[in-house]
Amino acid sequence: MAYLEVEDGKHVYYEHFAGDKTPVVLVHCWGGTTRLWNTVLGALLGAGHEVLTLDHRGCGESDKDFTDASIGAIASDVVALVEKCGLVKPILNGWSLGGAVVMEAASRLGDNLGGVVLTGAATPRFSPTGDWPYGNDRQGTADSLALMAQDRAAGMRVIADACFAKPVSPDLSQWAWTQFAQNGPRSEQSLRELVDIDQRDLARQLDRPVLVIAGDADAFIPFDGVQASIELFKDARLFTMSGCGHAPHMEEPATYNAELLSFLQKVGGRDSVSA
């Protein structure tokens, strides 16, 4: 077990897997753990990729008593781990709130970035605003936070179950809930921040290839907003997973992994030519 020490002795849990192909950083959703990437991790390792995973501050094996558990702080952990592990032009793959994290981290990595994958991502905005009519109702987030305050286990169950639009096994549903159940109250800081975050300028500035993978039945990220977001990027492509919800990598892992590996091959090949 490996930890990055940050913020006065607090620790962020991470795993670094060796590989000869393009490095990939997997950043999980709000409140979850890196284990929720397991099927993707297996596919990446099987294909020979170097992989870095981490648990957000306040989640999984990371310490729960951080003072700062914001999206920016988690992004700083991603950047620090990329540097610590010596990753060269990694692809950052962020799921849900992890998408907002990787957008911020990508803006800080500069030239040492290969590309970005956004999986059911809560970016560029999670909630509507005057000139952006897309997103999730703010009341839904408020209701989730209120339920957590009353019965945290029940709140995590609701979130875990809502990730799936397609039928999944009872075992997978139960296991997903156990991953969400490991977070602490301080993790809510990033969720509260997500309601008002606006990363449209970051999207416009990003000059690396972007793959957006989204289920068109996502209960958290309305699909019309996903479609609109594509226009903000300089080089982005949308891969739609029909009938999938918020966790396409778990609902249809074979389809998801095939698309991800294809993207990595193209980006890795382009980097080799440019190098």
Q: Where do the structural domains in the chain lie, given as residue ranges?
A: 2-274
Domain boundaries 2-274, corresponding CATH code: 3.40.50.1820
Q: Can you give the pTM of this predicted structure?
A: 0.96
CB 182 within 8 A of CB 59: yes
CA 14/CA 53 separation, integer angstroms: 6
SS3 149: helix
For residues 57-66, give the mean pLDDT: 98
Tokens 């099987």 correspond to: 46
At 30, the pLDDT band (50, 70, 90 cuts) reads very high
Q: What is the dihedral of CA 65, 71, 77, 79, to 10 degrees?
A: -170
Question: Between residues 3 and 271, which one has the greater pLDDT?
Answer: 3
For residue 16, give the H/E element and its range.
strand 10-17
Which one, of 260, 263, 259, 212, lies nearest residue 233 by Cα?
212
Give the per-residue pLDDT at 271.
54
Give the per-residue pLDDT at 1.
75
